[in-house]
Each structure stands twice: as C-alpha cells, then as structure tokens.
Amino acid sequence: MNIRNLGNTGLKVSAMGLGCMGMSFGYGPASDKKEMISLIHEAIDQGVTFFDTAEVYGPFTNEELLAEAIKPFHGKVVIATKFGIEIKDGKQMVDSRPEKIRASVEGSLNRLGIDAIDLYYQHRVDTRVPMEEVAETVGNLIKEGKVKHWGLSEAGTDSIKKAHAVTPLAAVQSEYSMMWRQPEAELLPLLGELGIGFVPFSPLGKGFLTGRFDKNATFDSSDFRSIVPRFAPENLDANQVLVNLVKQMAANKNATPAQIALAWVMAQKPWIVPIPGTTKMKRLKENLGAADVQLTPGETEDLNVALSKIEVSGDRYPAELAKRVGK
C-alpha cells in the first residue's frame, strides 16, 4: 500500500484507511468483537496504517474495540478519533467547550491505551464556541504531547480558515464520493491552497456504489440508512443510473464497482485518503484492491463528464442532521 501525506504537517498514512464506526455503531447491531479484531489485523497485514474512530461511536465501544485490536501494533499505526459530540437523552449534542475537549481527550487516551492521539478531529463545529478558542485549546494539547495533529469534520470553509490560522490543520474529513461531489466546489480548492489533507468518509456512498441496493432494499431501524432520504425506495431506483456507470467502467478495468468508486476518489488529488468502512473480510479485501486499480487521466475525465450529467436523487442527511454540517 502506498503512503500519502495528509497536509503539510508531516502526517503520513496509507493511501486508504479503514473507517471503524460501522463495527459498533450506525449500520445496525454491533458486530462480533473477535471478528472485527481479525478484520482490523487483516487490514494491517494488507498495509493499512490509518484507522478512524470517535468517542461517540457506541458511545465509547468503538474506541475500546480498536484499542484491543491495535495493542500489538503501537507505533506502527495512525489513529484518528474525534471530540465534540455526546449523546444526551438519546440525542446527539455538539459541545466543544475547552473543558469538554480536555475531558474528551483524557477519555479517548485511556480507552485507546495510547500516550498521544495521532489525529484529533472536532466531530462537528460548535457554533456556540469560537473556532479560534477550539483551535487554541487543541494547540495546547499538542504542546502538551497529548495530540500530534488535528483536523475538522464536516466543517465549512470559514471555520477551516479560522482554525488553520491558529493551529495548522492536518486534515479535514467530509463525505465525498461519486454520489456526493459538493466538496469539489469550495472545499477541495481551499484545502489545496492551505496544504490540508482530505479524508473522505462514505466514499462508496454508504454502500450504494457497490451495486448491492435497489428499490427493494430494506434497512434495520438501527441502520442509519433507514432515515436517509437517499435510501428511500424511489431514490434507490432513480440512482441506479449512477451504479450502471460504475459497473460499465468496472467491466472495462476488470475490477468491481466498489474498486472503481474508490480508485476514482483517490485519483482526484494525491492528498486524498478515503476511509471506507466494512464489517466483512471479503469486502475489506475487495476495497483494498482498489489501491491497485489505476484510472488514467482520460478515464477519470470521462467519468467526471458522465457524472456531471447525472443528478443524484435524495438528500444525504435527514433535515435535522443536515443543519450541523458545513458550519
């Protein structure tokens, strides 16, 4: 697996990471712990050095799972976790007050069993706390040796500029895929200008780009996709045109649709590191195979032109969650 630089801060990671959220949270019941540890170990054997979690995943159980899995590999892997969201009365609440950040970092360090967090994201912008204050707080944690690098998740360009001016950012994490290309308008140009890496989550469109779902697909009530407009039957049906495009390129390249979707993301910029998640060993190996799929500049451009003509149906978040992104 090739290595990529995230930003200008010296953070080096595998060209593809592994998103661990779905192992414990968000996409149905938590998976078997031993199986997930085996999956993480297989990822490491295949060259993955970059693993993404958050305190709110579970909450807490995902960090604990990852801690057990990486225990034999301390110093050989890069761990990203997040602060700024907690669950109160069954609802997610943003809170990035300095004292809360400090409590969160101590909790994550203890659960992960590490001395310093490699990459610490603000999970969502807290509009009640000035971004400069958040950046200064994390900057102090970096000086204290508890955090090595930091980033923002689903932040708007103004927040990114304010944060980076106080404590330079290594990475910004947001959704990005053939199905969600909005970051190309303002976010990617800004990150390129400032020298900040980009970590796309859901690079497979929450699984849609694998071609596994049609209008008859159903999702458990504990699966986040059950409330996502994009996964309503009529939108799953309307968006099959996108899957057909990916399948056509996959056939031409002797690859799978998932591999084409991931290769396309990585082909956009050399400082983009996607973090597809999975709970299945077969899917892990398939996803990692995307690192060997090389799209030529012409193939990438052909895909981009075709994608520009496809209007994706359905919002990526329900209205309440959509209010918290891009701040």
Provide the annotated active-site residues: 57
Degrees to nearest 5, angle at CA 13 with 212 and 201: 35
18 φ, ψ (degrees, to nearest 5): -130, 120
Choices 3.20.20.70, 3.40.50.2300, 3.20.20.100, 3.10.20.340: CATH for 3-205+269-292: 3.20.20.100
Report whether pLDDT(175) > 90.
yes
pLDDT band per the 50, 70, 90 thresholds, residue 56: very high
Report whether pLDDT(90) > 90.
no
pLDDT tens-digit map of 112-167: 999 999 999 999 999 999 999 999 999 999 999 999 999 999 999 999 999 999 99
Report whether pLDDT(300) > 90.
yes
Average per-residue pLDDT for the chain: 97
For the chain, percent of residues with pLDDT exceeding 90: 98
Q: What is the pLDDT of residue 302?
A: 96
pLDDT band per the 50, 70, 90 thresholds, residue 50: very high
pLDDT tens-digit map of 209-228: 999 999 999 999 999 999 99
What is the dihedral sign for C-alpha 298, 304, 307, 309? negative
What is the dihedral sign for C-alpha 8, 10, 15, 16? negative
